[in-house]
Amino acid sequence: MDLHMKKTSRILALLLSLVAVFSLFGCGSKDSGDGSGDSSDDGTVYTISWAHSSSTNDRLALATEKMAAELEEASGGRLKIEHYPASQLGAEREILEGVALGTIDVGIISSGVVAGFSNSVYVTNMPYLIDEREIGWEVYDGEFGQMLGQKTEEEGGWKFLGWCDNSLRMFSNTKREIQTPADMVGLKIRTQENDIHMAIVNSLGASATPVAFSELYTALQQGTVDGQENGIALTYSMGFNEVVKYLTYLPHIYDPYIVCMSTAKWNSLPSDLQELMQEYATKYCQYEREFNLQNDDEYLQKMVDAGLQVYYPTDEQAQLFVDATSGVEDLIRAKVGDELVDAYKEAVAAAKAE
């Protein structure tokens, strides 16, 4: 009798296990998918966590909301974006770590942070090379930008979806007008945790001070740092202009944002949704650039009206900044190699010649 019961129990356990297995593979789950290229619609809804550090009224957020609505409609509700702005899922470094690990699906990250995960991206930090964003768009949409994006996939371990616009980085501070590098001596300037950004600031005579972006407003307010180096739209949308009083209109870096996706999440999507995801990521970059371009002129005027003093260096003064940072190129070459630096400079020269 005991032997019969044991056999019955084993058979029952086996049947329950089989039921569980068939249930797992027979039912669509919210975040499932085999990435096998099957483009059939089985009713599965794929939710994409989409994270960045900018505020809800910044161009990253505005472009996300516009794109997300269009993507959901185009996919028939099969792709849904869960939007996490304002560092809700962590600062940029934490977001990018999450993308690499697969705990966050998509991140929009500035190049200064990406370089810590993908060494090749240090090339984008070349100082005083791109001073017009349209030149930057040409470079990153072209052959060089796509090649660099593929390198980030290999080095960072994510799916590259595109480059959008983190604007032209400029120095602003609470202390004094900066006309030449001599005016930067003694200032503590917030940077990202990026060797090249820090080298640029230090070579200009200031003291580079890494601070998390989410803590920057407080750091400026409390005097932990005297200044920062971000684009116009971000300076306004994050309220930094409420603290800084002086801005020098001389871009030292054109900073692209990377749009990257968890490889695991990408592979979970059927092929037709992969195509849609890529298509609308490209549209997102276009929307974000348009918002950023509109915001720069509007926000600069608002900051001036509120009391921000803007200084435009002469050509001779601008050359002093170029000369002071000339050694940074050698640092970048040591990190990424001559071939990549030369390709970048050639791409910029070609874009400027058009």
- Does pLDDT of 13 surpass 50? no
pLDDT for position 43: 86
> pTM here?
0.85
Least confident of 18-27, 37-46, 83-92, 163-172: 18-27
- Does pLDDT of 247 surpass 50? yes
Percent of the chain with pLDDT over 90: 83
Q: Rg of the Cα trace of the chain?
A: 24
Spatial neighbors of 321 by CB under 8 A, at least 6 apart, are 128, 180, 181, 204, 250, 252, 313
pLDDT for position 20: 36
User: In 3D, which of 172, 199, 228 has the Cα closest to residue 325?
Assistant: 199
Take residue 135 and report the two structure tokens written for it: 């030149």
Percent of the chain with pLDDT over 70: 89
Which of the four pLDDT bands, split at 50, 70 and 90, describes residue 117? very high
Mean pLDDT of 146-167: 97
Q: What pLDDT, in 10s, does the model give residues 66-76?
A: 999 999 999 99
Categorise residue 152: left if φ over 0, alpha if ψ from -120 to 50, beta otherwise: alpha
Which of the four pLDDT bands, split at 50, 70 and 90, describes residue 47? very high
Q: Residue 286, class by beta-carbon neighbours within 10 Å (0-12 exposed, 13-18 middle, 19+ buried)?
A: middle
The Cα–Cα gap between 87 and 94 comes to: 9
pLDDT for position 3: 34
Q: What pLDDT, in 10s, does the model give residues 223-244?
A: 999 999 999 989 998 999 999 9
Rounded to 10 deg, the angle between the 338-353 and 328-336 helix axes is 120
- Does pLDDT of 21 surpass 80? no
What's the chain's length in residues?
A: 354
Average pLDDT, the chain: 90
Spatial neighbors of 212 by CB under 8 A, at least 6 apart, are 91
Categorise residue 187: left if φ over 0, alpha if ψ from -120 to 50, beta otherwise: beta
pLDDT for position 38: 57
Q: What pLDDT, in 10s, does the model give residues 123-134?
A: 999 999 999 999
What distances in angstroms separate CA 124 from CA 46, 139, 293, one per listed residue?
33, 10, 20
- Does pLDDT of 35 surpass 80? no
- Does pLDDT of 37 surpass 80? no
- Does pLDDT of 116 surpass 90? yes
Spatial neighbors of 319 by CB under 8 A, at least 6 apart, are none
The H-or-E segment that residue 235 falls in is: helix 232-237
Q: What pLDDT, in 10s, does the model give residues 304-329?
A: 999 999 999 999 999 999 999 999 99
Cβ contact 125:111 at 8 Å: yes
pLDDT for position 40: 59
- Does pLDDT of 7 surpass 90? no
Give 3-state DSSP helix, strand, coil % of the chain, rounded to 5: 55, 15, 30
User: In 3D, which of 114, 121, 128 has the Cα closest to residue 53?
Assistant: 114
DSSP code string of 35-84: -SS-----S--EEEEEE-SS-TTSHHHHHHHHHHHHHHHHTTTSEEEEEE
